């Protein structure tokens, strides 16, 4: 028996004891074409920034709503496995920029094409968007680089004495399990209960244990997530390292500002945050993608994002008394030895729109 965390009626976590482990259903041999369309849909959803990584996508009947739902297999959560697959492939590159061995565990738990991608012969998965294409190479390179940037940020924060980490929209982030945390670190992971359940059950079944005090906070970030965080032991009087990776494009500009305001209000002196942000797609490119086929043309991803002008974290936080360092992704890719992914591309993945920002509270 092991302890698991379930979402209570108010969105807060309650502890239960359960012997449940994750079991994926066997692949349906009659659904081959559907599964391949889902993979391509995950590619479309993750094309220009990614949230967390995707086994399937939901049919698009319109744009986002303020109350839409998702899990690891649908909606905003549906990019999770796709990004995990990119991290798994990045770890297999010669001289990898970053290695996330637990990405493999998620792919094998789901099975099907995701397991074949890492365990099968490359020629058997040549149709997968991450294999044998300029898009696949660039996206994989970026995921490796992004992983390194945020890994380094968190370890540097701990080296400076911070012992409280908050990962917003944690998805399949496995840092609580794989980073060499110093003693006393608490890692709070915020996401929907269904996503957190999937991750915990898969890693428990595979025998992996957190290397820090890991606390799940099952909550929708569009709600009062700070109350849920405090309910689970977060101490706003202690310095915090916040992580905002692959999230902002999936919230409205107003919700982004509110999230920034909450971080500032809940941060003790010396706290810091690392943020991935993306500039809006040009109007014509976004309109073309939005009107395209949901799976093949990127319409699915376009239906999930808020492609609107928004605050630049590198300007917003200094206006509120914090210092900020902005790193252009194209420059970072060159610095870590992945210059090809920094070049202009017509392959559907534009790193020039992305940048990484680290901010520090006074």
Name beta bridge partners: 244: 168, 275
Q: What is the average pLDDT value for the chain, to the nearest integer?
A: 80
58 pLDDT tier (thresholds 50, 70, 90): very low
Give the whole-number percent of the chain exceeding pLDDT 70. Answer: 74
Q: CA 154 to CA 272: how far, in whole Å?
A: 10
Q: Return the pLDDT at 343.
A: 84
304 pLDDT tier (thresholds 50, 70, 90): confident
Contact 239, 161 (CB under 8 A): yes
Task: Give pLDDT tens digits for 239-271.
Answer: 999 999 999 988 999 999 999 999 999 999 999
SS3 state of residue 205: helix
Picking from 247, 47, 5, the residue whose alpha carbon sits closest to that of residue 142 is: 47
Q: Return the pLDDT at 11.
A: 33
C-alpha distances out from residue 79 to 30, 50, 118, 257, Å: 24, 6, 17, 24
42 pLDDT tier (thresholds 50, 70, 90): very low
Picking from 114, 117, 104, 6, the residue whose alpha carbon sits closest to that of residue 55 is: 114
Give the whole-number percent of the chain exceeding pLDDT 90. Answer: 57
Q: Report which listed range, 52-61, 162-171, 298-307, is most confident.
A: 162-171
Q: CA 166 to CA 150: how far, in whole Å?
A: 12
Q: Return the pLDDT at 258.
A: 97
40 has pLDDT over 60:
no
Q: Return the pLDDT at 288.
A: 75
Task: Give pLDDT tens digits for 112-140.
Answer: 888 999 999 888 888 888 887 788 888 89
Task: Give pLDDT tens digits for 309-342.
Answer: 999 999 999 999 999 999 999 999 999 999 999 8
pTM (two decimals)? 0.80
Contact 174, 202 (CB under 8 A): no
Q: Return the pLDDT at 17.
A: 29
Domains of the chain, earliest start first = 137-361 (3.40.50.150)
Long-range residue pairs from 93-96, CB within 8 A, at least 24 positions apart, any chain:
93/140, 93/144, 95/337, 96/144
Contact 286, 51 (CB under 8 A): no
CA atoms within 13 A on the CB side of 258: 11
Residue 113 tokens read as 């094409």
Q: Return the pLDDT at 185.
A: 99
| Of residues 286 and 64, more confidently modeled | 286
Q: Return the pLDDT at 298.
A: 52
- What is the Cα Rg of the chain in Å? 19
Four-CA torsion 279, 85, 298, 195, nearest 10 degrees: -80
Contact 322, 362 (CB under 8 A): yes
């Amino acid at each position: 028996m092991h302890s698991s965390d379930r979402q209570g009626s108010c969105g807060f976590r309650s502890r239960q004891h359960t012997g449940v482990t994750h079991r994926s259903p066997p692949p349906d041999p009659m659904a081959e074409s559907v599964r391949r369309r889902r993979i391509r849909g995950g590619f479309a959803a993750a094309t220009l920034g990614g949230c967390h990584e995707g086994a399937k996508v939901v049919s698009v009947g319109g744009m986002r709503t303020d109350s839409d739902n998702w899990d690891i297999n649908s909606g905003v959560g549906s990019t999770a496995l796709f990004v995990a697959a990119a991290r798994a492939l990045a770890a297999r590159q010669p001289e990898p920029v970053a290695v996330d061995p637990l990405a493999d565990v998620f792919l094998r738990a789901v099975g099907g094409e995701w397991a074949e991608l890492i365990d099968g012969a490359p020629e058997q998965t040549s149709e997968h968007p991450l294999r044998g294409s300029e898009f696949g190479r660039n996206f994989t390179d970026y995921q490796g680089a992004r992983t390194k940037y945020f890994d380094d940020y968190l370890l540097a924060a701990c080296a400076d004495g911070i012992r409280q980490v908050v990962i917003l929209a944690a998805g399949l982030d496995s840092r609580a399990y794989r980073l060499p945390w110093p003693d006393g670190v608490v890692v709070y992971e915020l996401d929907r209960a269904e996503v957190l359940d999937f991750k915990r059950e898969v890693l428990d079944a595979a025998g992996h244990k957190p290397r820090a005090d890991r606390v799940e906070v099952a909550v929708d970030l569009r709600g009062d997530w700070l109350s849920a965080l405090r309910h689970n032991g977060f101490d706003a009087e202690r310095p915090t390292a916040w992580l905002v990776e692959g999230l902002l494009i999936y919230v409205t500009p107003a919700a982004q500002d509110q999230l920034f305001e909450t971080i500032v209000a809940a941060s003790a002196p010396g706290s810091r945050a690392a943020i991935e942000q993306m500039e809006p797609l040009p109007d014509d490119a976004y309109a073309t993608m939005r009107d395209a086929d949901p799976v093949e043309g990127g319409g699915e991803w376009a239906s999930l994002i808020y492609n609107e002008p928004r605050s630049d974290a590198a300007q917003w936080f200094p206006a509120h008394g914090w210092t900020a360092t902005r790193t252009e992704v194209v420059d970072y890719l060159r610095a870590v030895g992945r210059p090809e992914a920094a070049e202009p591309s017509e392959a559907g993945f534009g790193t020039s729109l992305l940048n990484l920002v680290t901010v520090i509270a006074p």
